Structure 1
Amino acid sequence: MIYSVIAFSLMNAVVKYLTSFNVYQIVFFRSVGTLAFTIPLILKYKIPILGTHKKLLFIRGLIGVISLTCFFESLNYLAVGTAVSLRYTSPIFAAIFSLIFLKETIKPIQWLLFLLAFVGVLIIKGFGIDVNTIGLLLVITSAIFLGLIFVVIRKIGDKEHPLVIINYFMVMAFVFGGIMSINYWKNPTIIEWLLLSSLGVFGYIGQLYMTKAFQLHETNVIAPLKYLEVIFMIIIGATWFGEIYNLWTLLGIFLILLGLVYNIYLKSKKNI
């Protein structure tokens, strides 16, 4: 999971560095790098590339593109640590969507923890340094659609191969990003080509090692480690991009992490 967190952190840092490029071009290159892995593997293992639940796979891909695009765009307005922290409110929306669409129950203690995380969001917005409203709306929109992704994937269950699910997402990102970036295309330098190409590589490595982590160890041990990404992004933001995080921002981030990590712990222990 730590390898996964490092990979995703580096991907986010590269996106932040490449803010001179339009978000659609970023999405396009993010998809190309991952498709270079998924398509050969699907062909090698003779996995049906279109899957069997095409409607759900299409929906997952569509909302994935929306979430990814909104998140990448939010990095133009927010500090990377703040943006990643706010996007991690997605489990709140996932729980609400699960209640609506899957009829799953939410216990009172979960609502309390979600409220705690939401208070963290309000603190960041109200007292954090330079929290742009447009950036906040973009990253919360990203979190909402990410929460919806969790529900769709749960609906799909183990009926589809993970590579097929990822491939649908990346193919749609490739088409969407490619078409939308035509009018905004900027020719990269050699260094920028390498950085843009690395997005899909880091994204694939992050996804691969996260999957392996959950396969090898208990969820209650592994899942909280995912939130190390917030810590890494704060360090990267402060050291690489000169971003400033005041105590209110750090308190808000702490409350978000506390509420969501403790929720994972309780669910894994079946105490709720």
Structure 2
Amino acid sequence: MKKAILYMIISAIAFTLLNVTVKSLGQFSVYQIVFFRALGSLFFTFPYLIKNKISFYGNKKTLLILRSVFGLTSMLLFFLSLRYITMGTAVSIRYIAPIFASVFAVFLLKENIKPIQWFFLALAFSGVLVLKGFGEDLQIEGIILSFISAVFAGLVYITIRRIGDKDHPVVVVNYFMLISTIIGGLLSINSWKTPVGYDWLILMSLGVFGYFAQLYMTKAMQIGETNVITPFKYLEVVFTTIIGLLYFSETYSIYILLGMLIIILGLTLNLVFKKK
């Protein structure tokens, strides 16, 4: 379990760097950003699978495709939300995903959730209500996009758990990146903007950050229990908010910060109870 937690922390750092890079690419369409984010990761996954003589097809093909579709939908909606609201807020709302993951885990994975844990998860969800109700400067479009992204992220966690150790983590990530590259490329045709100069380097770095973020998240989810591991992704909220304040000069009202704190508190309490 300690190794799974470490993997999730590494994933949170990589996701933070990915968020910052996406935020800085506002001149490109979201579809094009998805395309480059996925394409860049394929430069890691394909050589790895070939070198280690691992089958590209995998064993749980249906689940691998489902995980990819869920992940692509969540990623696309989240990138869109960054066009409307601050990074820290978008990340906070998106990562109420453990709430949905916990609900799905009860029905699909037959995991047990104690009544007190439901209270903690409800507390985390109330943080979103604080953001929505008192964050006057928040655009409703961004909130809705992040919220739906969280639902699909919860489905991603559950699908990965269903895959378990039947498929190599890189196979799981490769499926996701390949499908995202194809769909992202097709959707970006009408709005394509050719990168110039350093834009190429920045766009391709999306794949680097995204690859390690997805790889270590996948590893963590495969060896750890959903309800324990997923809350550690909330470190991304802290990292992203700090960078948003310092680098993008984003502003956060006291109510927005309070809502983010409630979300983190609820999931942290759930984690502590689960460990006991």
* TM-score, normalization by structure 2: 0.90
Letter in 2 for 1:71: F
Within the candidate set 180, 192, 212, 1:173 is matched to 180
The unaligned stretches of length 5 or more in structure 2 are 1-5
Within the candidate set 15, 18, 31, 2:22 is matched to 15
Total equivalences in the alignment: 269
Would the alpha carbon gap of residues 141 and 113 (structure 1) be closer, same or farther in structure 2, given more than 3 Å must change?
A: same
* Bigger mean CA offset, 102-111 vs 153-162: 102-111
Distance in 1 of aligned mates of 2:221 and 2:157: 15
Return the offset for 1:209.
5.2
Corresponding residue for residue 119 of structure 2: 112
Within the candidate set 232, 240, 244, 1:237 is matched to 244
Distance in 2 of aligned mates of 1:35 and 1:171: 7
**Secondary structure of the corresponding residue to residue 145 of structure 1:** helix
Distance in 2 of aligned mates of 1:225 and 1:37: 25
Corresponding residue for residue 194 of structure 1: 201
Superposed CA RMSD in Å reads 2.4
Would the alpha carbon gap of residues 201 and 92 (structure 1) be closer, same or farther in structure 2, given more than 3 Å must change?
A: same
Whether 1:34 and 2:41 are equivalent positions in the alignment is yes
1:68-107 alignment, distance < 5 Å? 68-107=75-114
Whether 1:150 and 2:157 are equivalent positions in the alignment is yes
Is the Cα–Cα contact under 8 Å of residues 74 and 139 in structure 1 kept in the other structure?
A: yes
Is the Cα–Cα contact under 8 Å of residues 90 and 146 in structure 1 kept in the other structure?
A: yes
Letter in 2 for 1:54: K
The unaligned stretches of length 5 or more in structure 1 are none
Percent identity, aligned pairs only, is 54
Letter in 1 for 2:131: I
Is the Cα–Cα contact under 8 Å of residues 98 and 227 in structure 2 kept in the other structure?
A: no
Distance in 1 of aligned mates of 2:133 and 2:53: 52
Distance in 2 of aligned mates of 1:150 and 1:214: 7
* TM-score, normalization by structure 1: 0.91
* Bigger mean CA offset, 22-31 vs 211-220: 211-220
Corresponding residue for residue 272 of structure 2: 265
Would the alpha carbon gap of residues 255 and 267 (structure 1) be closer, same or farther in structure 2, given more than 3 Å must change?
A: same
